[in-house]
Structure 1
Amino acid sequence: MTSPVRVILGAAVPLALSAGVGVAARLAATSLLGHQATAQLAAFAVAGAVLGPVTAAVSGGLRGLTPFVAPHRDDPAGALPALRDARWLALGLGTAGAGVLLCVPLLARAGGVAEEVTAELGVLPWLLAGYVLLLAAGGGANGTLVALGHARQVLWSGLAGTAAEVLLLLALVPRLGLTGAGLALVAAAGVSVAIANGRLARVTGPAGWALWPGRPRPRAILRMAGVGVPMSAALVIKFAALAGVAYAAARTGAHGAAAHAILVSLDGPLTLAAFTAGQAAAPEIARASSAAAARRANRAALAVGATGVLAGSVPLGCLGGEMLGLFTSDGRVLAAASGALPPAAVFALANGCAIVMSASLTGLRRSAWSLGCTAAGYGPLALVAAPVATAWGLIGLWWALAGCAALVFALQTWAFLRAADLGFVGYSARR
Structure 2
Amino acid sequence: MIVLLRAAVPLFLAMVMGMIGSLVVTSVLGKHDTVTLAAFAVMTAVLTPATAAVQGALRGLGPFVAPHREDPGVAVPIVRDARWLSLATGALGAVAVLCVPLLAGVSGVPGEVVRELGLLPFFLAAYLLIFASTGGASTILVALGRSRDVLWSNLAFGLVLAALTVALVPRLGLTGVGIAWVVAIAVAAVVSSLCLRRAFGRPIGQARPRIGEIVNLAKVSIPLAGTVLIKFGVLGVVTFAASTTSTRDTAAHAVLTTLTGFIMTASIAIGQASVPEVARATDVAGARRANRSAALLAVLGTLVGAALLLGLGDRLLMLFSDDVAVRERVLALLPLMLLASAFDAAQAVQGIGLTALKRSASSLMYFAIGYGLLVVAAVPVARTWGITGLWVAMAVANALLVVLQGTGFRRHSARVVALAA
Is the shorter-chain TM-score for this pair beyond 0.5, marking a shared fold?
Answer: yes
The answer to which of 91-100 and 379-388 deviates more is 379-388
Q: Per-residue CA shift, 1:11-45, capped at 9, x if unaligned?
A: 11111121222222233334444566666656545
Equivalences for residues 67-78 of structure 1 within 5 A:
67-78=63-74
Tell me the equivalent position of 2:339: 346
- What is the letter of the counterpart of residue 129 of structure 1? A
Tell me the equivalent position of 1:66: 62
Tell me the equivalent position of 1:226: 219
Q: Compared with structure 1, are the counterparts of its residues 188 and 328 closer, same or farther at alpha carbon in structure 2 (3 Å cutoff)?
A: farther
Give the distance between the partners of 2:183 and 2:87, measured in 1 at CA.
19
- Counterpart pick for 1:372 among 358, 365, 370: 365
Tell me the equivalent position of 1:235: 228
- Counterpart pick for 2:317 among 324, 333, 336: 324
Tell me the equivalent position of 2:140: 144
The answer to which of 88-97 and 242-251 deviates more is 242-251
- What is the letter of the counterpart of residue 78 of structure 1? V
Pairs aligned (count) = 421
Name structure 1 gaps, 5 residues minimum: none
Q: Compared with structure 1, are the counterparts of its residues 9 and 249 closer, same or farther at alpha carbon in structure 2 (3 Å cutoff)?
A: same
Tell me the equivalent position of 1:300: 293
1:51 CA drift (Å): 2.5
Give the distance between the partners of 2:212 and 2:412, measured in 1 at CA.
25
Q: Compared with structure 1, are the counterparts of its residues 204 and 67 closer, same or farther at alpha carbon in structure 2 (3 Å cutoff)?
A: same
Give the distance between the partners of 2:295 and 2:162, measured in 1 at CA.
31
Give the distance between the partners of 1:124 and 1:258, measured in 2 at CA.
27
The 8 Å contact of residues 164 and 187 in structure 1, kept in 2 or not, is answered as yes
The 8 Å contact of residues 38 and 254 in structure 1, kept in 2 or not, is answered as no
TM-score, normalising length: structure 1: 0.86
Tell me the equivalent position of 1:283: 276
Equivalences for residues 3-402 of structure 1 within 5 A:
5-33=1-29, 44-108=40-104, 121=117, 123-173=119-169, 179-206=175-202, 208-210=203-205, 212=206, 214-249=207-242, 260-329=253-322, 334=327, 337-338=330-331, 340-402=333-395
Give the distance between the partners of 2:327 and 2:103, measured in 1 at CA.
27
Looking at both structures, which has the greater relative contact order when contacts are Cα pairs under 8 Å and sequence separation is at least 6? 1
Give the distance between the partners of 1:292 and 1:223, measured in 2 at CA.
26
1:354 CA drift (Å): 1.8
Give the distance between the partners of 1:352 and 1:385, measured in 2 at CA.
21
Identical positions, percent: 46
Tell me the equivalent position of 1:424: 416
Give the distance between the partners of 1:176 and 1:388, measured in 2 at CA.
44
Give the distance between the partners of 1:337 and 1:113, measured in 2 at CA.
29
Q: Please give the secondary structure, in 2, of the residue aligned with 1:425.
A: helix
Tell me the equivalent position of 2:400: 407
- What is the letter of the counterpart of residue 222 of structure 1? V
Give the distance between the partners of 1:382 and 1:111, measured in 2 at CA.
21
Name structure 2 gaps, 5 residues minimum: none
Give the distance between the partners of 2:106 and 2:300, measured in 1 at CA.
41
The 8 Å contact of residues 169 and 181 in structure 1, kept in 2 or not, is answered as yes
Give the distance between the partners of 1:168 and 1:282, measured in 2 at CA.
35
Q: Per-residue CA shift, 1:228-278, capped at 9, x if unaligned?
A: 111111111111212333444567798877655544333232111111111
The answer to which of 389-398 and 368-377 deviates more is 389-398
Q: Compared with structure 1, are the counterparts of its residues 311 and 151 closer, same or farther at alpha carbon in structure 2 (3 Å cutoff)?
A: same
The 8 Å contact of residues 49 and 246 in structure 1, kept in 2 or not, is answered as no
1:336 CA drift (Å): 6.2
The answer to which of 376-385 and 276-285 deviates more is 376-385
1:71 CA drift (Å): 1.0
The answer to which of 138-147 and 258-267 deviates more is 258-267
Q: Per-residue CA shift, 1:318-353, capped at 9, x if unaligned?
A: 323322322454667656655553443233222222
1:409 CA drift (Å): 2.1
